[in-house]
Amino acid sequence: MQIVNAPHALYAMAASLAVLLVATAIGHWLAKRNVSKDYSELNLRIRSWWWMVLMLFTVLSLGQTPAIVFFGFLSFLALKEFLSIVPIRLTDRRVIFWAYLAIPLQYYWVSQQWYGMFIIFIPVYVFLFLPIRMVLIGDTRGFIRSAGILHWAVMLMVFAISHIAYLLTLPVQNPAAGPFGPVLFLLFMTQLNDVSQYVWGKTFGKRKIIPNVSPNKTWGGFLGGVATITLVSAGCAPWLTPLTAQQGLLAGALIAVSGFFGDVVLSSVKRDLQIKDSGSLIPGHGGILDRLDSLIYSAPLFFHYVYYTAY
Amino acid sequence: MRLVKVLFFCLLVKPLVLLLLGLNLRGRERLPLSGPAIIAANHNSHLDALVLMSLFPLHLIHKIRPVAAADYFLSNRVLAWLARYCIGIIPIDRSGKAAKAQLFAACHAALDAGDIVILFPEGSRGEPEKFGPLKKGLFYLLEDRPQIPVIPVVMHGLGKALPRGEALLVPFNCDVMVGEMLAPSALCTASLMVDELTRQFKALMTQCLTRSQNFDSDEYL
């Protein structure tokens, strides 16, 4: 039980459970006070948050290897969801089968802490291999489009998400935070950023940033979210990560800005396909991509920032 | 026999559908929980019947019976054992030689026993993820049992996961859209029923998440 020896990680988990308790109470209070308005969507969302948080904490408390397997499984669900909504040719099925096989390998490199392989496996080897498999099948109509879709899918859903797992294996520099501190930090800040950009946007948002992609994203929401996360992470970073408070400021800004772009990049995909949700795995949220979108951008950027500054 | 089917669905089909496939399910509450009833679904893959059956609780699984081609499923002994005991198909003769009364005898027996019968009005799996013309068999099956409810279901994505002629299962999410029970007026004539069912199938198809609408070319699934 690595987690018991890391008091700060435990405090962070307790704090997030407290936040959820408050959110649940507010949700029920709103529904009771204002019967005419429908809050079932909000309460469904909060209930799904409980499931996600409890699942994550259970997996983390089981130790490093189960946690790596868990993130590998998230990659699988994300890749499957992405490949299910994008258009593919019948002949791409066999290539996609190989793309799935990249997941266990990539997470194996993570578990072995083989950084060199972890960082080049998908951008070099998988990148070169998938078109080879396509050529051997020999369907050249739509070749470029399929190759592009597949590379993009594997980079976003496997390579980017596997950075969360690699954070778990970095040598512990902040003993009070333990091996899980940086991961908890990244996940909390990214999700808190989503929520706070939404709340700031609802309260102060007027001018839209990119109306063609996401009509709900406003400058007020974006700047409010970035400011909030920058400040909160300056406070939390020394507790949960090897970073100092000043470095935490930059880490917060990085997570907030990249989280925003992850969100709108995946929104563009859905808009292109003319769908609202990418799946229905998480009640009240949509598919798993609707929850992982920000993380796909913030995880690799935060990882490399920590890796560069502290290792 | 019932135990074999329960174990098959509990240990193999349900976990497979949950982990390897993953469903976008809408309208589950419209599925009948007691027979006799007919579920009319589009057909793209061998997985269609298994996915539909996996939506039902295990204590009902022995009552759920898909109608399947005798010439295909009873063609060899291993497949026949699987089809009869693990899945519990109602075999149907597609050769066109059997008399109408004879053709539906097994279906009628199942319906009279209160089973929920799964039927694919397209008649065969056809091209992956393409919607084929509906046949009139369902109408003749219901001719002297007009009170039996017919629930249309559209599935999309399984033709990618396991299309006709392929043995390699590749994981994809799949949509299962359950529609409204067919109105009795739609069951007056065969062509009326085909029209109404086609209309419902097309309407349900537009709700599917995994069906991209912007790549119009026929080659994309």
Bond preceding residue A171 cis, omega within 30 of 0: no
CA dist A229 and B99 (Å) reads: 74
- Residue-wise pLDDT for A153-162, tens only, equals 999 999 999 9
Work out the average pLDDT over A94-100: 96
Name the minimum distance, in Å, from the CA of B123 to any CA of chain A.
22
B210 and A84 within 8 Å at the Cβ level: the answer is: yes
Work out the average pLDDT over B139-149: 83
Work out the average pLDDT over B187-198: 85
Q: Name the token pair of A56.
A: 């994550």
A80 and B173 within 8 Å at the Cβ level: the answer is: yes
Q: What residues of A are in contact with residue B157 (Cβ under 8 Å)?
A: 84
pLDDT of residue A284: 84
Residue A80 CB partners (closer than 8 Å, separation 6+): A100, B22, B171, B172, B173
CA dist A165 and B60 (Å) reads: 42
- Length of chain B, please? 221
CA dist A58 and A54 (Å) reads: 6
CA dist B152 and B179 (Å) reads: 5
Report the greatest alpha carbon distance in chain B: 47
Percent of chain A with pLDDT over 90: 77
Is residue A202 less than 8 Å (CB to CB) from chain B? no
A86 and B173 within 8 Å at the Cβ level: the answer is: no
Could you tell me if A111 and A65 are in contact, meaning their C-beta atoms sit under 8 angstroms apart? yes
Query: Which chain B residue has the Cα nearest residue A276?
Result: B209
CA dist B211 and B206 (Å) reads: 8
Under the banding of pLDDT at 50, 70 and 90, the label for residue B1 is: confident
H or E element: which one contains B177?
strand B174-178
pLDDT of residue A41: 86
Other Cβ atoms less than 10 A from the Cβ of B93: the count is 13
A279 and B173 within 8 Å at the Cβ level: the answer is: yes
Paired sense of beta strands B116-119 and B23-26, if any: unpaired
Nearest-CA neighbor of A13 among A65, A72, A55? Answer: A55
CA R_g for chain A:
20
Residue B4 has pLDDT above 80, yes or no: yes
Burial (0-12, 13-18, 19+ Cβ within 10 Å), A310: middle
Amino acid at B181: M
- Residue-wise pLDDT for A248-290, tens only, equals 999 999 999 999 999 999 999 999 888 888 888 888 888 999 9
β-bridge partners, B25:
B176
Other Cβ atoms less than 10 A from the Cβ of A13: the count is 19
CA dist B88 and B163 (Å) reads: 22
Could you tell me if A44 and A283 are in contact, meaning their C-beta atoms sit under 8 angstroms apart? yes
pLDDT of residue B101: 74
pLDDT of residue B217: 57
Could you tell me if A139 and A91 are in contact, meaning their C-beta atoms sit under 8 angstroms apart? yes
- Residue-wise pLDDT for A211-251, tens only, equals 888 888 999 999 999 999 999 999 999 999 999 999 999 99
In this complex, which of A77, A274, A279 lies closest to B24 when CB atoms are compared? Answer: A279
In this complex, which of A84, A89, A94 lies closest to B173 when CB atoms are compared? Answer: A84
Is residue B156 less than 8 Å (CB to CB) from chain A? no
Q: Name the token pair of A260.
A: 């925003």
Render B77-104 in DSSP notation, one character per residue.
HHHHHIIIIII--EEE--SS-S-HHHHT
Is residue A96 less than 8 Å (CB to CB) from chain B? yes
Burial (0-12, 13-18, 19+ Cβ within 10 Å), A199: middle
A-B interface: how many C-beta pairs under 8 angstroms? Answer: 76
Q: What residues of B are in contact with residue A142 (Cβ under 8 Å)?
A: 217, 219-220
Residue A296 has pLDDT above 70, yes or no: yes
A93 and B163 within 8 Å at the Cβ level: the answer is: yes
pLDDT of residue B216: 55
Residue A82 has pLDDT above 80, yes or no: yes
pLDDT of residue A104: 97
In this complex, which of B160, B212, B214 lies closest to A93 when CB atoms are compared? Answer: B160
Query: Which chain A residue has the Cα nearest residue B176?
Result: A280
pLDDT of residue A47: 93
Angle between helices A289-310 and A64-85 (to 10 degrees): 130
Look up tokens 């069912």; give the residue.
B197
Percent of chain B with pLDDT over 90: 34
Nearest-CA neighbor of B42 among B170, B173, B167, B133? Answer: B133
